[in-house]
Every structure is written in C-alpha cells, then in structure tokens.
Structure 1
C-alpha cells in the first residue's frame, strides 16, 4: 500500500509529507511489543502496522475447523457497525435493542416448540455464545436441585451432570467452575456419541440433569434425545426422582427444525427443560452470540435473576457478562426476519448438498473411512484406512500449504486410538471449494505416498546392512527404521513451513 501520509515534526510542529508510507519511521522503527510506546503515532501508521501483522492470520473462509459464521450480507455488516457502540445491557437507554432481543428469544422458542400460550412471552436470554448459555442453564439446574434437596432435608453438596465423553469443553468448564461432578459416558469405536442407555444407568439422586448434544463437535451426529427422554421418564417413575434433560443444540439447533422437522429432540419432549443454541454458528451471525431458552418460568429460579436500577429503570438481568455490544443481537434479528423459515431451510439444504459432494469426493479416493453420519450437522469427519507411515496429522499439516485449515484430532475416551480429520461445511463453502479441497487432498496423498516409498527403499537398505549373515535384522526392524526416517522427514517439512532453518 503506497499513500501520502502527513505526520507532525516534533521540532517545527509542521506537517511532514511522506511520499510513501513504508518510508516513514513509524514503519521502519519497531514498536515495543509488550509495553505501551512512549509517543503517539499517526492513525494511518497504527492501522498499517496492525493490518500488516493480521495478513499472517489464516483466511476465515478457508478455516474448515470452525463452525463459526465467516460471511454475512453487506446490509447486515452495516447494521453491525452502526450499533457497535451500543451497550446491550443498558435496556433503558436502548429499549429498541432490548425489544429486538426479546423478539429473537420468542422466535427461537417457537422454533423449538416451547409450550408458550398466546398471552405469554418465552423465557430466555441472549448470551455471548453457547458457553455462557450452558453456564446459565447449568446454574439453573443446580439451584433448582439444591432447593428441592433442602426442602426434603437431604444433603445438596454433591451435584453431578451426566454427559457423553464427546461434549464440548464448556461442559467441563461449568463442572469445574461451579463444583459439579461431570459423569461421562465413554465412547467406543464406531459409536461416537452418548449412549442413552448407559447415560440413564449413571443417573442417581444427585444428578441435576442429563445433557444431550444435538450435533456432536466430533462427528456432527445428533444424539437420540427422544430415547433418552423415554428411558429417563421410566427411571424417574421407578425412583421418584425428577431428573431433567438439557439439550446442547449449539450446532444443530438451527439445522434440525429446517431439515428434520419430524425429529423430536426439543420441548416436545416433557423432560427437556432448557436448550442452548449458537447464533454465531448455523444461526448465521458473526461471533459472538448465543441463546438459552427455558421451557417455563418454573425452570429458571427467581433468585438467579438480578434487578438493577442504576442504568435508569428496574432491569432484570441473568447473564454472566454484564456490558457487551448490541451488534450481534441486532444481526441475529436481521437474519431471522431477512431469511425467514424458507431462507434458513434453503441455506441448510445447500450446506448438506455440498457436504454430500465433499463426502463422495473423499470416499472416491479409496483411502478414507467416513465416520460422520449423513443426517446431522453438515460436516465430514474421516479417518485413514491405512494408518501406516503417515497420519491424518501429516495431511492436516500439508493442507495448510494450500491455505486450508482442517483439524486433525483423536477421539475421547475410550476411542483415543481413532484419529480423524473434520471439515465443517458453512454457508460460504461452495461446491467449487469442495471439489478443490478434494483435489488438494489427492495431491497430498500422492506426495506422501512418494515419500513413503523412498522411506521404504532407504530403510530396507539400512536394515539389510544391519542384518547378520543369516539375513535376520539384529538391531532395528525395517518398520522401526521407516518410522525414524519418516519422522525426520516430517520434522524437516515442518521446519520449512515455519521458516526454521
């Protein structure tokens, strides 16, 4: 970028013109990284310095690890910028923003089939994301359980939550931050979601809720909430307990109502007392915005709601964060009225079609096993059929050369030996990008195969030299030598990618 920049000479207080920005001392002289600089710099210089560093970030559109929305319409971008200076919590000063939030809560509650009467409003709140929403829902379950135990004269110091081992880390955070035991149903190879039968077996009188996931982060699969509801209903009848269900619909809450309307996972099931969803995922809003909806007022203890009046009028609040921007709330309302049910359905169908194209392309290589289900969140999770000389982690590293960010990870307990790649399909991931990704994966496989053949040739020669007269390898097996050479080669590639000589 070449521009004329006016700066002020400290001796003469006269503007000094630079014909090119990069010739200015503000760019040529490094600024301190961890201490505030002593002197001010021109706004153009501050912008250029930061912008140059940000160019080294990954491209959000090619970040296939993330469920988070990376594109919105220009009109919504403008609404966001117009409201970026509004404090969402100040209901008295910004009553229209508060009204838009309430409309969003009611729209989402109806989408989830909440039992709302015509003269009632839905019970829910906007949050920074599903993490905060889960914290709030968990606190409501904990307090309600504690109140009931106190009324019964029973101890209330050992609450627990039952989940699958595939839950997002925010559930672990809630358990640790708020002193709740997290009882996890372990996974098994080929079954990467919570087993409702095992989950109900783990429920006891101290269980404040069972958390089901509508769209597992690992494979995108929907857990069977209806079966969980039926099994837990029977157990509650047998024991006299009243253990409820929370549905973590962070990813699937804006998918299931449009693609699988007959699927019963929401407030149609009596034991589902609260649901969270991420507006910044398939709600199609930039981060960060989430929502938590309760079935009724009785499911949100009144003592958790705070009333303040120092911003103008009495304002009830139930959030972990206090001050935050209004932009994402307004953006969510824009998407809900702009797209409507038809628009969301079309977008989700398109995402699923592009998922199918990517899935077919990956299967056609003959090198991968698809672990994700066709019904669920639009993503493709796949593992290598041959876990020989290179791994999914090597493929993930090499994809970065083409700009793709594709995560590789291992499954949680007890399926840690399964390693996968996962590609999330968002609204801005087109068919052409899916085809290009498959093409790049094929290129990488050919490269890795070629290097693997070289490794085999070298290791065989080394092993032959190290064998005795009878031809038996005495020091290292061929496989061990191959692994050492291949690990060395991977290390060299990584050093080149990071600029380390």
Structure 2
C-alpha cells in the first residue's frame, strides 16, 4: 500500500481515496492491485484535469451521443467486428452502412467499401488502391511502374503526406496563398503526367472548412483523358464534409455524380455524429478496388475477405453509425446540420460586427464552423486570444498558421457542434470581446506579432 498503515488503508476505503496523498503509478508496473473503486477514482481524478468537451471548439470529433446510442455502444464493446463467423450481423450492418453511403454519394450502381478506424485509415486504403490501379494500367500498356506521384493541395490533412512517405509516392503539393485556401483545375494541371496515380480533392478542409473545386478538377481530368489518353481518377477526402454537403448543399456536385470521382472517404466520428473510432471508404464501382489488396483468411472459422490496415476492432461504433442512420435519416441529418449552420452564421456575424475580426469565406459553401483572424494591427495575435479564452472561460479555440505559401496567415477556428446552443454562441461572442479588451490593456506574449506591429507589417 506504499507505506500506508492498515488503519490508513481502512480510513481511505471508508472516507476517501488513498491517491489524494499518494502519487499515481506511472513508471513501474504495479506490484499489487487495488479495489475497483480506487482504480476508478484514480483515473477519474486524472481526467478531471482535462478540458470540458462542451467547450472544445477545436475538435471535429463527436463529443456527445444520445443515451440510447451510448447504451448500444456499452452493450457491444465486447464484440470483435472482424469475427464475421461469430458476429455475422455486425458484418451485415457494416455493409448496410456502406450501401447507404453509396446511395448518399450517388454511386451509379453496385459498389463496395468498408469501415475503418477513421479517415486516416480510409485514406491510406483509398490511396493504396489508386496506386495499385495505376500500376495495373501501366503494366497493361507495357509502361514503367516506377515513380508514381499524387497531386493534392496544401489544404489537405497531414495523413496525405504520411501516405506518400510511407508508400513511396511522390507528393505534388499545390501551395496555397493568402485569400486562396483551396485548389482548382488551374492549380492541378501543371502537376499532371503519366505517373499521376490520382488527384485528391478535399470537401470540408480542416483549415477553413471550404471545399476544393471538384467540378473544375473533374472537367480538367475528362479533357486530359480525351487529349492525352490518361485516365486519372479523383479521390475525394470528405472526412468532414462528406456528412455535411449532402444535407446542407444537396445540389452541389462533388461526389460520384462526377465521372472521375472513383473513391470517397468520410469520418463517421465527425459530422457522422458518432464517438471516435469509425470512418468509411466507399468506391464508385467494385472494379475501383484493386483486388490485389484484398486478403482471404479463415483464422476465425470462416473464410473472410479483409481490406483494412487494422484487424481486430470493436463493432460498437459500426452499430452506433447504423443507429444514427436509421434514427435520423435524411430529414434528421438535414435538421442537425442546419441547426449547426445557423449557429455558426450567428457566431460569424457577431465576430464580423465586433470590428475586431475578419471572417474567412462565410459566404461560401462551408462546414458549420467559423474561421476568422484579427483585423488591423494589434500588440497581440490570434494565439494570445486563444490562450485568453482558455484561461478566462475554458473555451478551447485553436489558433494556427495556414500551409505554404500562406503560412504567414494565422487564424482562429471555432467549430459549432450539435450541442452548442444559441445562448452559448452569445456567451462565446461576449467572451471573445472580453478577451480582446483584456489583451488591449496588457498586450500579448507572442514576439513575432509584436515585431510585425513595430515594423508596420501587421495584418
């Protein structure tokens, strides 16, 4: 008991927690165990020091689900999704979700896809299929399969650069610029050649919540196919936007309605409204999945095809995703997205009307978020505002720089979640005003911003 007397141990069990005065085990595997209550208290007291998910406006990941969904998750945490022989209904529910997503994304006919741990795994799998299909085309034409490249903008998630490094593909990254935070056909065209395995288009960027010009890129690739006889596919990274655009902007074409879009990933644990641990990859047609990437095994008593980087994983988040699909349907998802969009627009309006901030692209198709930066010159910057909001009110609002060649632009981003009420929007707006007033008096702590003001080169 780490030096505790028997009397102390009894008193701790009756009246409190022994870890109120003892350090938590952290460097060595414990020699002895503890009671369930002590273990629970130990972990709970550590977690009490973390941020409040209700005020976490940084994460795209879902932080709340209905009690019925939570019960469904809790009752199925023991279920290993990959064991299709023992849990065939879980496997069938996965495929129901894939078919529903294919319908939502306007797939022209029978297709295939799979659940993943999140969009990072889905992207790795989708990009691997791009590489393998390109290699098939090159071999069929008697051409070299050396030096594949992938074209994407600086607005992508870091996982795309990871893929290129891990799987030996040359990244051809289109740089951004101030006031140009997405990419289109004119940006892509100079980077295309016979070794291009695909073009990545983002729908709902992490940085500002907008989408690339998928229609323009599709038109470019159709023309490129006709003029150069090179069939270059598009993979749409819809990690965030894949569950937003179908409901907020149903007439906007970005999905399988465009001929060159061959695969789409989407995060169920973002705007799919499921807790962390679920992503999806959907192909336009079954033939878009390279069959050399599919493995067959019978470890668990039944021959199964597997196309994932992970093997064993819980079934509970797949079931939670299906719960949301049948619980909400198109009507319910549309309602939730419009609610979030209305509150995001209210927050953007307050930020703009304050005169302190410039809101980025709120008049465009956008995720339910507000991206904004300071207007004018100040003795503090966006990072100081983020720190002040966290210190004063517990709001987690990230401040970050944009990718090259817009890295000199620093912005703040506030995501508006399903659980954020209009009163909380009003409160956040007042807290932003108060944070700026405090910083007006005391100044900031970021030397780079103060130096810009001294040199007369502020925003």
Alignment of 1:38 with 2:31, yes or no, is yes
Whole-Å separation in 1 of the counterparts to 2:325 and 2:231 = 35
Q: Which residue of 2 aligns with 1:470?
A: none
3-state DSSP class of the match of 2:242?
Answer: coil
Deviation at 1:425, TM superposition (A): 1.2
Q: Report Cα offsets for 1:377-399 as digits up to 9, x if no partner.
A: 11100011124311001001111
Question: Which position in structure 2 is the counterpart of 1:341?
Answer: 330
Question: Whole-Å Cα distance in 2 between the matches of residues 110 and 31 of structure 1?
Answer: 50
Q: Counterpart of 2:72?
A: 79
SS in 1 for 2:411: strand
- Tell me the SS of whatever aligns to 1:183: strand
Partner of 2:314: 325
TM-score with structure 1 length normalisation?
0.85
Contact 2:154 2:403 survives alignment (8 Å): yes
Question: How far apart, CA to CA, are the structure 2 residues paired with 1:307 and 1:245?
Answer: 28
Partner of 1:420: 411
1:61 equivalenced with 2:54 (yes/no)? yes
Cα distance change of structure 1 residues 217 and 18 upon mapping to structure 2, 3 Å threshold: closer
Q: Tell me whether 1:100 sits opposite 2:89 in the alignment.
A: no
Contact 2:345–2:362 (8 Å) recurs in 1: no
Secondary structure of 1:445 counterpart: helix
Structure 1 residue 372, shift from structure 2 partner: 3.2
Alpha carbons of structure 1 residues 413 and 19: separation in structure 2 relative to 1, 3 Å: closer
Spell out the pairing of 1:98-137 with structure 2 (5 A cutoff): 98-116=91-109, 120=110, 122-137=111-126
Please name the residue that 2:394 is paired with.
403
Q: Distance between the aligned counterparts of 1:27 and 1:327, measured in 2? A: 35
Please name the residue that 1:248 is paired with: 237
Higher-RCO chain (CA-CA 8 Å, sequence separation at least 6): 2
Taking the aligned partners of 2:239 and 2:260, their CA distance within structure 1 comes to 19
Query: 1:141 aligns to what SS in structure 2?
Result: helix
Aligned residue among 193, 207, 219 for 1:230? 219
Shift of 1:155: 1.6
Alignment of 1:26-425 (within 5 A): 26-116=19-109, 120=110, 122-374=111-363, 375-401=365-391, 402-425=393-416
SS in 2 for 1:253: helix
List per-residue Cα deviations over 1:67-89 (Å, max 9, x = no partner).
Answer: 11111000000000000011110
What is the distance in 1 between the residues matched to 2:220 and 2:140? 27
Q: Give the deviation of 1:29 after TM superposition.
A: 2.6
Give how far 1:200 is off: 2.1
Residues 163 and 448 (structure 1), Cα distance of their counterparts in 2 relative to 1, 3 Å cut: same
C-alpha distance in 2 between matches for 1:406 and 1:196? 33
TM-score of the pair, normalised by structure 2: 0.93
Aligned equivalents of 2:412, 2:325: Cα separation in 1: 32
Cα distance in 2 between the residues matched to 1:247 and 1:329: 22
Q: Distance in 1 between matches of 2:439 and 2:205?
A: 31
* Cα 1:10–1:393 shift into 2, 3 Å: closer
The secondary structure found in structure 2 opposite 1:274 is strand
- Give the alignment of 1:428-467 within 5 angstroms: 428-452=419-443
Hey, what's the Cα distance between the residues in 2 that align with 1:363 and 1:273? 39
Separation in 2, partners of 1:370, 1:33: 45
Q: CA RMSD in A?
A: 2.1
Unpaired runs of 5+ residues, structure 1, are 1-6, 456-478, 484-501
Distance 2:137 2:51 in 1: 50
1:11 & 1:364 partners in 2: Cα distance? Answer: 63
> How far apart are the structure 2 equivalents of 1:19 and 1:213?
54
How far apart, CA to CA, are the structure 1 residues paired with 2:350 and 2:5? 66
| 2: CA distance, partners of 1:36 / 1:21 | 27
1:460 corresponds to = none
For 1:462-482, what per-residue CA distance to the aligned partner results, in whole angstroms no more than 9, with x for missing partners? xxxxxxxxxxxxxxxxx8799
Question: Structure 1 residue 154: deviation in Å?
Answer: 1.8
Deviation track 1:376-432 (CA, whole Å, cap 9, x = no partner) reads: 111100011124311001001111121100000111111111110000111111111
Runs of 4+ more than 6 Å apart: 9-12, 479-483
Matched residue, 2:457: none
In 2, the alpha carbon distance for the partners of 1:418 and 1:27 equals 45
Does the 8 Å CA contact 2:172/2:191 hold for their aligned counterparts? yes
1:451 positional shift: 2.0
Counterparts in 2 of 1:17 and 1:449: CA distance versus 1, 3 Å: closer
* Residue 498 (structure 1) aligns with: none
Q: 1:219 deviation in Å?
A: 0.6
